[in-house]
Chain A
Amino acid sequence: MQQLVMTLIDGINLGSVYALVALGYTMVYGIAKMLNFAHGDIIMVGAYTIVVFISRLAISVPLAMFLCVAFCAGLGFVVEKLAYKPLRHATPLSVLITAIGVSYLLQNLALLFFGTNRQFIVKFINVGSFDLFGVSVSGISVIIWVTTIVIMLGLYIFIKKTLLGRAMLAVSEDKGTAQLMGINVNRTISITFIIGSALAGIASILYSAKYLNVDPYTGSLFGIKAFAAAVFGGIGSIPGAMIGGLMIGLIEALTASYLPFNLNAASDGFAFVILIIMLVLKPTGLLGKNYTEKV
């Protein structure tokens, strides 16, 4: 019994990281209607900035965190400006391929600068674990959960209450009409992108605090799972990203722990099976908007 509870907690902790990453995917998708395949790789770059700032240059942790987020946002700005903005009117597929290209580009740049070896990061957020009903819960996981929920609420309030947020909502509903209402669609999408990248920066801080290592492929591998989480919950839906992340995390923990040994070797396949079943039953994900196409 205790074993099960501990496994569930593992799943919830893993899910929190997926949820945090999925938030970024879902926000950009929800507003710009674009699958940013490179989102995971921006997180990877963020983790490398942590390596540089904290492990190599040893500057103070809060400053390093700030610089990391700033760097990611800046990177997002540059990527958006150079690669995505010229494709505003291109087919979604061209944008997707470009995003894949950006993803490869970031991976290989990291490879060039930092080599192939996995970089390990010194522990920079020191919170111990504490006992909860006899089960040990790691402090960093609690921080990740709190951050994820705060970001979720923050995004919610931002989109509902601020002018810029409502402009984003308008753009996501109907670009043409938004333009007529005097919203600068192009700029709104760019800003969405920068916010998404800043979220990636935050995710990269917490990711590196939890796992303490990074290699050039971290982002893409983790990104795919987080992307699956976003779709599971209904891409574009912010609470959906949370639930999706949680579900994928739980499924992974349970399959890794409870599959008999002869099925164990395929443990990473089960998350995908459940994703497929989910989408077959509910084609737009758990909390996704149902839309009917009109003539």
Chain B
Amino acid sequence: MKKLNSKLYRNLIMVAAAIAVYAFIAYGMNTNMLPRATQTLAIKACYNVILALSLNLIVGFLGELSLGHAGFFALGAYSGCIFSINSSLPIEIRFFVAALIGGTVAAVGGFLISSSILRLQGDYLAIVTLAFGEMIRSFIKIIPYTGGTSGLNGIPSLGSKFMTFSYSYVFVIITVLVIRNIVTSRHGRAITSIRDNAIAAESVGINIKAFKIKVFTVGAFFAGIAGVILGHYINFIEPANFSYNVSIEVLVMVVLGGMGNLLGSIIAAVIITFLPEILRGFDKYRLLIYAIALILMMLAGNSPKIIELRAKAKVKIMMLRRKALARKGA
């Protein structure tokens, strides 16, 4: 009973937080209290959050290093946006259908690539996914209807920034809910067991291959949706938007936020979205600072001293809590 309550309590907090964030940004946008650069970046943050969450499912929970997320992102963006340009549905419905189409096409891509590379592990998987992403980017240039190298033009806009943000936010919520439900379900435990010890997982009857395919398909689906949001946000996409640097940037979000930590991914995605903007004044030192920050964060997260400090702090907090409880009990 108590457990159930705490779960409910946590869910309530999350819902409240989601509403509060939305209300804050919506208010800021409608009153123009937020600077306009922040307003556009809020939309960018939405699709980055979706990308980070979906990659976290693959890298953080399943434990497979994928460097090809940009490929799924591209598949979704192009298929969804080509639909959106050629359809005459009302824009709101069109956007949702486009997202569904983009997600599905990307999911098919995820299914195909994951089912053909099941035997690959570790770094080999990393390079194949990287090759997959680059292959997609390269072939877009010769596929008809994609606009080729010059890019796909005239993707309809959802109206104001506020509208675009609102629709994107809906998809963020959907992504969070679906992925959270997957990882906390029985499936999620099966997936993490594959990450932690594949052989042990198999021995208790978990079908590793099926789960790998499922995870890649779901991850690709959401990456595809992120692509559709990107298209409707800048109204123009070109192959250069989907280079492997994008995959790496998303991976950085996942690692910074903590592998297998959904909240962490969300926060890291938002930070990485805003970081270049915060560093804007520094012009040519910007990317340099970004690189140094990246290295320092990795070092800080893994240095034995900091880990030790963290462990000590943990123990201290536990002691304090125990004392407090004891006092209460007395």
The reply, when asked whether chain A contacts chain B directly with Cβ atoms under 8 A, is yes
Residues of B contacting A272 with CB < 8 Å?
A: 131-132, 134-135, 138
Within 8 A of A (CB), among B187-229: 198-200
Rounded to whole angstroms, the CA-CA distance of A257 and B89 in the bound complex is 45
Chain B residues with Cβ under 8 A from A109's Cβ?
Answer: 288
Please indicate the chain B residues that have their CB under 8 angstroms from the CB of A93 in the complex: 59, 65, 255, 259
Tell me whether A266 is interfacial, beta carbon within 8 Å.
Answer: yes
Q: How many A-B residue contacts, CB cutoff 8 Å?
A: 134
Q: What separation, in Å, do the CA atoms of A268 and B135 have in the docked complex?
A: 8
Task: List chain B residues, Cβ under 8 A from A263.
Answer: 142
In the complex, what distance in Å separates the CA atom of A279 from the CA atom of B259? 27
CB < 8 Å neighbour of B291 from A96, A104, A288, A293: A104
Query: Are A101 and B298 interface neighbours, CB within 8 A?
Result: yes
- Tell me the minimal C-beta distance from B311 to chain A in angstroms: 15
Complex Cα spacing A112 to B121, Å: 38
A172 at the interface (CB under 8 A from B): no
B134 and A276 contact, CB distance less than 8 A: no
The contact of A104 among B128, B135, B290, by CB within 8 Å, is B290
Residues of A near B130 (CB, < 8 A) are: 224
Q: Kindly state whether residue A98 has any CB partner on chain B within 8 Å.
A: yes
Given the interface pairs A265-B149, A276-B135, the reply to whether A100 lies near B248 with Cβ below 8 Å is: yes
The chain A residue with its CB closest to the CB of B136 is A269
A94 and B287 within 8 A (CB): no
Query: Given A83-B295, A104-B294, A105-B291: A283 and B124 within 8 A (CB)?
Result: yes
Q: What is the size category of the interface that chain A forms with chain B?
A: 35 or more
Q: How far is the CA of A280 from the CA of B131 in the complex (A)?
A: 12
- A29 & B199 in contact (Cβ 8 Å cutoff): no
- Complex Cα gap A293–B203 (Å): 14
User: Quick one: which of B267-305 are within 8 Å of A by CB?
Assistant: 284-285, 287-288, 290-292, 294-295, 298-299, 301-304
Give chain B's interface secondary structure class.
helix
Contact A279 B294 (CB under 8 A): no
Please tell me if A227 contacts chain B, counting CB pairs below 8 Å: yes
Measured in the bound complex, the distance between the Cα atoms of B128 and A235 in whole Å is 13
Assembly CA distance A105 to B296 (angstroms): 12
Interface centre among B148, B244, B284 (most CB of A within 10 A): B284
Cβ of A262 under 8 Å from chain B: yes
| B295 with A101: CB separation less than 8 A | yes
Docked Cα-Cα span, A269 to B136, in Å, equals 8
- A90 interface contact, C-beta 8 A: yes
**A97 and B255 contact, CB distance less than 8 A:** yes
Cβ–Cβ < 8 Å partners of B135 in chain A: 269, 272-273, 276
Instruction: List B residues at the A interface (Cβ < 8 Å).
Output: 59, 65, 116-117, 119-124, 126-128, 130-132, 134-135, 137-139, 141-142, 148-149, 198-200, 244, 248, 251-252, 255, 259, 284-285, 287-288, 290-292, 294-295, 298-299, 301-304
10 cross-chain pairs, A with B, having the tightest CB-CB distances, nearest first: A269-B138, A104-B291, A101-B294, A90-B302, A272-B131, A105-B291, A101-B295, A108-B288, A283-B119, A272-B135
**A: which residues have CB within 8 A of B?**
29, 35, 83, 86-87, 89-94, 96-98, 100-102, 104-105, 107-109, 111-112, 224, 227-228, 231, 235, 262-263, 265-266, 268-269, 272-273, 275-276, 279-280, 283-285, 288, 293-295
